[in-house]
């Protein structure tokens, strides 16, 4: 465990040091999220904090991770998705260009063998996907990349959720004896936590699309290379729970818009964090509450990973029921009108 603690501390320290420097660079370049009627911030905030997360993570894994296809694929694809995000933070790319870039980034991972190869057969054993693993991996990677981007709606929300989710994936990797994947997970946890010091409310800097997409992309890669390559009987359930908050929030958004006959890409105020703010909660209270939900789902993921398939399904159902009931109580499914908020400009969802 000493090496993992070292990786965590170095990634945290590097990002903690880099973030104020990136903040100064943002002021020199004039890259800000400026206040308007669709944003939460009341003053211009630097929006390229993803550069600090990226630098802290990449330097750390180059120092400690074993060389091989996973490292090369993650650095190559991660650098591509990061550059795509930086360009979007500065120039605001069209949604179709971002989607195309995300598909290319996912293809990079797949070309290095980081793909879903099998899923659990509920009647026993595994179902090997063959070539069907490629489109499934593509959908998974692009989807997770966007869910983190979507949840980036309040100060510290996306960074904190990333820390919790990727820490869960770290422990899952240890359970499966995948120490190389665990290095990536704990490095992202450290870099995200180092950034969170400057991103928690009131935020001094935002991670921007560069940080949100990079974090989501790395988590997608870790889940595919780790939990989804496990021989455990609950291969798909574990990452669904570990990344549960952004996944469920995205699923709820789709259900809500279909029910209200609105375009799926049309932004609204139904996301979990929006509804907590609508209840009169402060940003800090809302963010900490979503953290608590993510911790609950992370613990469930760890329990499920040590269970058989039937027990895993029951636990998944319980977790899903709890989250759905809570979402229903705060009005996630009933909201149907546009709202203000940074998240509305961050994602098509």
Comparison of pLDDT for 117 and 141, the residue scoring more: 141
pLDDT digit string, tens, across residues 147-161: 888 788 788 999 999
Q: Check: CB of residue 45 under 8 Å from CB of residue 205.
A: yes
Q: Tell me how many domains the chain contains.
A: 1
pLDDT digit string, tens, across residues 51-62: 999 999 999 999
pLDDT digit string, tens, across residues 205-231: 999 999 999 999 999 999 888 766 655
**Could you tell me the two tokens for 182?**
């665990």
**Could you tell me the two tokens for 11?**
């990634």
DSSP calls for 72-88? HHHHHHHHHHHHHHHHH
Q: What is the mean pLDDT of the chain?
A: 85
CA distance 124 to 34: 54
Residue 38 is classified by DSSP as T
Pick from 330, 333, 264: which is nearest to 293 by CA?
330
Q: Check: CB of residue 304 under 8 Å from CB of residue 244.
A: no
The reported pTM is 0.87
- Average pLDDT in the 136-154 region? 87
Is the pLDDT confidence value at 328 over 70? yes
pLDDT digit string, tens, across residues 106-124: 999 999 999 888 776 666 6
Domain containing 43: what range?
2-346
CA distance 140 to 222: 12
Is the pLDDT confidence value at 339 over 50? no
Comparison of pLDDT for 334 and 140, the residue scoring more: 140
Give the residue carrying structure tokens 């946890």: 189
Distance of CA 327 to the CA centre of its chain: 20
* pLDDT value, residue 346: 46
Is the pLDDT confidence value at 343 over 80? no
């Amino acid at each position: 465990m000493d090496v993992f603690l070292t990786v965590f501390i170095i990634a945290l320290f590097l990002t903690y040091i880099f973030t104020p420097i990136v903040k100064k660079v943002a002021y020199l370049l004039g890259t800000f999220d400026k206040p308007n009627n669709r944003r939460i911030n009341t003053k211009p905030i630097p929006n390229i904090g993803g550069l600090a997360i990226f630098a802290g993570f990449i330097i750390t894994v180059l120092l400690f991770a074993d060389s091989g296809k996973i490292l090369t694929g993650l650095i190559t694809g991660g650098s591509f998705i990061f550059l795509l995000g930086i360009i979007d933070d500065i120039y605001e790319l069209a949604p179709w260009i971002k989607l195309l870039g995300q598909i290319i980034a996912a293809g990079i991972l797949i070309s290095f063998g980081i793909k879903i190869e099998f899923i659990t057969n509920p009647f026993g054993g595994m179902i090997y996907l063959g070539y069907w693993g490629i489109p499934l991996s593509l959908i998974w990677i692009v989807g997770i990349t966007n869910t983190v981007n979507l949840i980036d709606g309040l100060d510290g929300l996306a960074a904190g959720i990333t820390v919790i989710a990727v820490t869960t994936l770290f422990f899952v990797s240890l359970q499966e004896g995948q120490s190389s994947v665990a290095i990536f997970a704990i490095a992202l946890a450290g870099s995200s936590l180092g950034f969170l010091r400057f991103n928690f409310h009131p935020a001094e800097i935002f991670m921007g699309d560069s940080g949100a997409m990079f974090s989501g992309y790395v988590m997608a890669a870790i889940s595919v290379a780790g939990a989804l390559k496990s021989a455990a009987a609950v291969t798909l359930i574990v990452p669904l729970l570990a990344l549960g908050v952004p996944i469920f929030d995205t699923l709820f958004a789709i259900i809500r818009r279909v029910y209200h006959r609105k375009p799926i890409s049309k932004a609204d105020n139904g996301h979990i964090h929006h509804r907590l703010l609508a209840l009169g909660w402060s940003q800090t209270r809302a963010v900490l509450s979503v953290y608590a939900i993510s911790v609950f789902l992370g613990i469930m993921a760890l329990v499920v990973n040590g269970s058989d398939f039937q027990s895993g399904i029951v636990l998944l159902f319980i977790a899903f029921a709890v989250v759905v009931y809570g979402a229903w109580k705060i009005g996630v499914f009933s909201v149907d009108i546009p709202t203000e908020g940074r998240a509305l400009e961050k994602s098509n969802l």
